[in-house]
């Protein structure tokens, strides 16, 4: 129901919103145009006021100057001036000052000294404050605005002739609130009028206002900043004013004086408030009418749409029943009929898609996603135990390459049917192209083994078709719940890991073992930490001595890397060398080992200990064309003779990329470095490549040495390898020597060197030095 009301409201609000938007835009435009017109008119009025103020002040100056000139013609004044009668002069000045409205009158000598001052009886003989006005008065009408003792005066200077200049009369007219108000009464000056005097740079104080009650006057009592000489819009006392500053002429030693004219936009806009109220009322009425009309339109339009929305909601929830017909003959009626037809089609397609998403197209069995969901449901239902079997047909890739996908699909169909027949009603699915899954809810380990054996027996019979007979070579991996995992996804992964372990085993089935899982979380964690170990110096070398059997002296050592993990302690190379190859870090690791080993061998040589150093190289290292140059550079840097460095490689590493490895080995051999084949005898096709390799030494794999004294066949093999090697000009080293009898036998058949726990375990460099030194002293003794 909320969807229906929402649609109606949106439709109604659309119409109302359009109406409101138009009204608001219209109101904004009207307000903007009106305000702009008032601003222009205000600027014009302020400019006119400024001119009027200047004209009034000029008229005042002319009137006062005319009165002073009349006074100057007074014989008694001139006689008093000539006789130096100061009392008469002051009396005349007082009388004429009252007549012209002056607050102060002065008589000034031609030399600029004050003769008489009506405001200061002690000013006689003092210098006139604004001396630059004296000379100007003889040439032009002189009237300036000056700040004197905290007040602003309109100062008019008039010379006195008798008939030659005998002095000057200075008239002080105080410009105060009363004078400005009088000037406003006599003209069209606005009441927003303030006279400001500068107290300091960018600091102004009001000394006279036309009307002190206005916000304009109150806001300009004390002002920081400068005033605009052109009409400018300012915010004063929370009101908008157009302000114009008219600088007034002043003496150079007087503070600047400006008169500020203000035009209140708020007052100018006030007559339009009634118009705005009327417009608002009209807008409200229009909105009410528009809302009612829009709601009616929306109601008529939305009803069929609401019906269609209800039908669509049912379809969304999986209800594909044919909706009741909508008896309309317009486009909405046609849409309703189309929705009914669409619902039936969607139901069919959804069923088909759901089946395809959860089933294998070839065998018709559930797929991995479906079996994972089924296992999860079973676990959620509280099953106490269970077993997951992963059945892999190991020859599927070869079958596809040989006979194609068509026959392989038929083979997988047949395999799925065989598994279903012997699975005792368990849930069967196809997990991958070559793997099937069987979930045995409530089945323990023994029951899982029995089902696995039945499946292996069922798949043991080759698949035949026409003249083709194909062995499936199955292998079964088993993961137990809750022993191995408690989640379906983990059970599937562990069963697949166990299936890989079962391939090639005698039983062809295997349970999951965490110890042999190459994808266990701690191993993945180590893969990420190995890079940091190389950078943080967590690796160190141990050295396993090599014993020369002819002299029974230690003359070499094999470098073996150890990882000193900050949390796990010492990690042996078997745990991370393969991981380094998988992650691409093996070359960085090898280069670290090479530098550390060459540096150590060089240090031993400097200390007088002549020990050969052996370093193991991986298959990836032999693919590095820059490796010979790198090793040569290290040998030169540490001044190590090339014949003291032996590089050990396995048969498997050479055979993998034979041509590339051969080029690298030849370059190393040409530089004088020694080459050793490690783990000889357990590789593939080793004799086919051996005569092509630049080899100096063979190391017999420890699998032939450990049981040498108990197994005659091992003795024959070892003796044959020694004779073959010597015949080819190679030295021979036996690995894994663990007792004296084995050591003596190897010496008797001419083996050159021996390594193993009986000779010495891997040790630190210092321990090896001590062991070698001790053995040397014993041999001398």
pLDDT in tens, 304-314: 666 667 767 77
Question: What is the pLDDT, as a whole number, of residue 220?
Answer: 79
Half-sphere exposure of 234 (CA within 13 A, CB side): 23
**Quick one: what percent of the chain has pLDDT higher than 90?**
18
pLDDT confidence bin for 405, thresholds 50/70/90? confident
Rg (CA), the chain: 56
Helices 86-100 and 2-72: crossing angle in degrees, nearest 10, is 140
CATH 3.30.450.20 range(s) for the chain read 59-177
Question: Can you identify the CATH homologous superfamily of domain 523-780?
Answer: EAL domain (3.20.20.450)
Q: Which among 108-117, 347-356, 534-543, 743-752 has the top mean pLDDT? A: 743-752
Strands 697-700 and 553-565: unpaired
Would you say residue 173 has pLDDT above 60? yes
> Angle at CA 165, nearest 5°, toward 163 and 169?
115
* CA atoms of 547 and 555, how far apart (whole Å): 6
Would you say residue 154 has pLDDT above 80? yes
CA distances, 357 to each of 351, 371, 390, 496 (Å):
10, 12, 21, 22
> What secondary structure does DSSP assign to 440-452, as a single string?
EET--HHHHHHHH
pLDDT confidence bin for 1, thresholds 50/70/90? very low
* CA atoms of 407 and 114, how far apart (whole Å): 133
Coil vs helix vs strand at 768: helix
The mean-pLDDT minimum among 258-262, 275-279, 413-417 falls in 275-279
Determine contact, residues 511/496, Cβ cutoff 8 Å: no
The mean-pLDDT minimum among 288-292, 388-392, 424-428 falls in 288-292
Mean pLDDT of 4-16: 64
Question: What is the pLDDT, as a whole number, of residue 596?
Answer: 92
CATH 3.30.70.270 range(s) for the chain read 386-519
Residue that wins the pLDDT comparison between 337 and 558: 558
Would you say residue 582 has pLDDT above 70? no
Mean pLDDT of 501-524: 71
pLDDT digits (tens, 9 = 90+) for 102-123: 888 888 888 888 888 888 888 8
Closest to 533 (Cα-Cα) out of 499, 504, 493, 562: 562
* CA atoms of 395 and 383, how far apart (whole Å): 35
The mean-pLDDT minimum among 83-97, 159-173, 199-213, 511-525 falls in 511-525
pLDDT confidence bin for 523, thresholds 50/70/90? low
CA distances, 689 to each of 231, 651, 654, 656, 686 (Å):
101, 9, 9, 12, 6
pLDDT confidence bin for 735, thresholds 50/70/90? very high
* CA atoms of 231 and 244, how far apart (whole Å): 5
Determine contact, residues 167/115, Cβ cutoff 8 Å: yes
The mean-pLDDT minimum among 7-16, 404-413, 582-591, 613-622 falls in 7-16
**Quick one: what percent of the chain has pLDDT higher than 70?**
87
Question: What is the pLDDT, as a whole number, of residue 675?
Answer: 93
* CA atoms of 92 and 100, how far apart (whole Å): 12
> What secondary structure does DSSP assign to 282-318, as a single string?
HHHHHHHHHHHHHHHHHHHHHHHHHHHHHHHHHHHTT
Would you say residue 321 has pLDDT above 90? no
Residue that wins the pLDDT comparison between 210 and 8: 210
The torsion angles phi and psi of 701, rounded to 5 degrees, stand at: -65, 145
Question: What is the pLDDT, as a whole number, of residue 2?
Answer: 45
N-term to C-term CA, the chain: 106
* CA atoms of 703 and 710, how far apart (whole Å): 13
Per DSSP, 113 falls in state B
- Going by CATH, does the domain composed of 386-519 fall within 3.30.70.270? yes
pLDDT digits (tens, 9 = 90+) for 632-659: 999 999 999 999 999 998 877 776 677 8
pLDDT digits (tens, 9 = 90+) for 47-88: 888 888 888 888 877 888 787 777 777 777 777 777 778 888
Mean pLDDT of 223-250: 81
Question: What is the pLDDT, as a whole number, of residue 600?
Answer: 94
* CA atoms of 665 and 652, how far apart (whole Å): 14
* CA atoms of 335 and 329, how far apart (whole Å): 10
- Give the H/E segment covering residue 155: strand 151-161
Residue that wins the pLDDT comparison between 526 and 201: 201
pTM of the model: 0.45
> Angle at CA 359, nearest 5°, toward 354 and 364?
130
CATH 3.20.20.450 range(s) for the chain read 523-780
Q: H-type helices in 623-678, by residue range?
A: 627-638, 651-656, 658-670
Q: What is the mean pLDDT of the chain?
A: 82
> Two tokens at 434?
């070559």
Mean pLDDT of 457-472: 85
Question: What is the pLDDT, as a whole number, of residue 11?
Answer: 66
* CA atoms of 619 and 623, how far apart (whole Å): 7
Burial classification of residue 118, based on how many CB atoms lie within 10 Å of its CB (0-12 exposed, 13-18 middle, 19 or more buried):
buried
* CA atoms of 582 and 527, how far apart (whole Å): 9
Would you say residue 742 has pLDDT above 90? yes
pLDDT digits (tens, 9 = 90+) for 26-47: 878 887 888 788 788 878 888 8
Question: What is the pLDDT, as a whole number, of residue 3?
Answer: 43
Q: Which CATH architecture has domain 59-177?
A: 2-Layer Sandwich (3.30)
Determine contact, residues 223/167, Cβ cutoff 8 Å: no
The mean-pLDDT minimum among 397-401, 620-624, 643-647 falls in 397-401
Sequence length of the chain is 781
* CA atoms of 617 and 470, how far apart (whole Å): 41
Tokens 């490549």, residue located: 689
Question: What is the pLDDT, as a whole number, of residue 634?
Answer: 93
Mean pLDDT of 120-145: 84
Beta strands, E only, 482-622: 509-511, 539-548, 553-565, 569-571, 612-616
Would you say residue 750 has pLDDT above 90? yes
The per-residue b/e assignment along 464-489, b for 16 or more CB within 10 angstroms, e otherwise, is eeeeeebebbbbbbbbbbeebbeebe
Beta strands, E only, 362-448: 386-393, 427-430, 435-441
> Two tokens at 378?
């079973």
pLDDT confidence bin for 685, thresholds 50/70/90? very low
Determine contact, residues 651/686, Cβ cutoff 8 Å: yes
pLDDT confidence bin for 549, thresholds 50/70/90? very high
Mean pLDDT of 369-395: 89
């Amino acid at each position: 129901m909320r969807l229906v009301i929402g649609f109606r409201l949106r439709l109604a609000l659309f119409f109302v919103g359009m109406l409101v938007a138009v009204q608001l835009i219209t109101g904004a435009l009207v307000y903007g145009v009106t305000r702009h017109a008032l601003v222009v008119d205000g600027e014009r009025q302020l400019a006119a006021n400024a001119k009027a103020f200047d004209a009034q002040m000029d008229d005042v100056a002319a009137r006062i100057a005319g009165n002073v000139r009349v006074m100057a013609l007074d014989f008694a004044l001139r006689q008093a001036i000539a006789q130096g009668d100061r009392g008469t002069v002051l009396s005349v000045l007082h009388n004429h000052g009252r007549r012209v409205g002056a607050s102060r009158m002065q008589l000034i000598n031609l030399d600029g000294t004050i003769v008489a001052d009506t405001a200061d009886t002690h000013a006689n003989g003092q210098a006139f404050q604004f001396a630059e006005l004296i000379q100007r008065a003889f040439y032009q009408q002189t009237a300036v605005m000056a700040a004197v003792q905290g007040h602003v005066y309109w100062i008019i200077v008039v010379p006195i002739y008798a008939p030659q200049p005998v002095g000057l009369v200075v008239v002080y007219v105080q410009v105060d609130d009363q004078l400005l108000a009088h000037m406003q009464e006599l003209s069209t000056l606005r009441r927003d009028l303030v006279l400001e005097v500068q107290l300091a740079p960018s600091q102004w104080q009001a000394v006279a206002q036309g009307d002190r009650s206005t916000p304009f006057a109150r806001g300009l009592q004390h002002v920081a900043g400068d005033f605009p000489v052109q009409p400018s819009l300012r915010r004063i006392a929370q009101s908008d004013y157009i302000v114009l500053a008219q600088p007034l002429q002043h003496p150079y030693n007087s503070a600047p004086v400006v008169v500020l004219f203000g035009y209140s936009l708020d007052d100018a806009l006030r007559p339009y408030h009634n118009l705005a109220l009327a417009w608002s009322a009209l807008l409200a009425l229009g909105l009410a009418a528009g809302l009612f009309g829009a709601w009616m339109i929306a109601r008529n339009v939305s009803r069929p749409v609401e019906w269609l929305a209800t039908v669509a909601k049912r379809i969304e929830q999986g209800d594909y029943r044919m909706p009741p017909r909508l008896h309309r003959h317009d486009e909405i009626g046609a849409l309703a009929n189309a929705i009914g037809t669409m619902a039936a089609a969607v139901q069919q397609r959804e069923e088909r898609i759901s089946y395809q998403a959860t089933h294998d197209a070839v065998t018709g069995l559930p797929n991995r996603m479906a079996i994972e969901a089924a296992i999860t449901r079973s676990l959620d239902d509280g099953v106490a135990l269970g077993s997951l079997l992963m059945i892999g047909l190991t020859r599927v890739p070869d079958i596809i390459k040989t006979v194609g996908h068509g026959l392989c699909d038929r083979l997988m169909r047949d395999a799925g049917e065989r598994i279903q027949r012997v699975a005792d009603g368990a849930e069967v699915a196809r997990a991958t192209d070559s793997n099937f899954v069987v979930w045995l809810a409530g089945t323990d380990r023994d029951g899982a083994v029995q089902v696995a054996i039945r499946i292996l027996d069922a798949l043991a019979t080759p698949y035949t078709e026409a003249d083709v007979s194909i062995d499936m070579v199955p292998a079964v991996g088993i993961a137990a719940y809750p022993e191995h995992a408690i989640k379906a996804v983990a059970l599937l992964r562990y069963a697949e890991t166990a299936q890989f372990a079962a391939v090639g085993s005698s039983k062809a089935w295997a349970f999951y073992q965490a110890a042999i899982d190459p994808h266990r979380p701690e191993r993945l964690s180590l893969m990420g930490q190995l890079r940091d170990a190389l950078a943080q110096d967590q690796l160190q070398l141990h050295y396993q001595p090599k014993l020369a059997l002819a002299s029974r002296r230690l003359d070499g050592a094999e470098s073996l890397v150890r990882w000193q993990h900050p949390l796990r302690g010492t990690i042996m190379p078997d745990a991370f060398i393969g991981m380094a190859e998988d992650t691409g870090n093996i070359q960085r690791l090898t280069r670290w080992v090479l530098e550390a080993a060459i540096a150590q061998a060089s240090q031993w040589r400097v200390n007088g200990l002549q020990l050969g150093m052996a370093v193991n190289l991986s298959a990836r290292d032999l693919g590095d064309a820059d490796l010979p140059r790198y090793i040569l550079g290290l040998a030169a840097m540490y001044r190590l003779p090339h014949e003291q460095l032996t590089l050990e490689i396995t048969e498997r590493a050479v055979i993998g990329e034979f041509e590339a490895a051969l080029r690298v080995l030849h370059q190393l051999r040409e530089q004088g470095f020694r080459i050793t084949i490690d783990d000889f005898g357990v590789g593939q096709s080793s004799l086919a490549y051996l005569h092509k390799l630049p080899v100096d030494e063979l190391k017999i794999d420890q699998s032939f040495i450990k049981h040498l004294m108990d197994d005659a066949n091992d003795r024959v093999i070892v003796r044959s390898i020694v004779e073959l090697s010597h015949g080819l000009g190679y030295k021979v080293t036996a690995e894994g020597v663990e007792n004296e009898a084995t050591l003596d036998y190897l010496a008797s058949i001419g083996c050159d060197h021996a390594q193993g726990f009986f000779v010495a375990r891997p040790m630190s460099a210092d321990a090896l030095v001590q062991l070698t030194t001790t053995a040397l002293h014993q041999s001398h003794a």
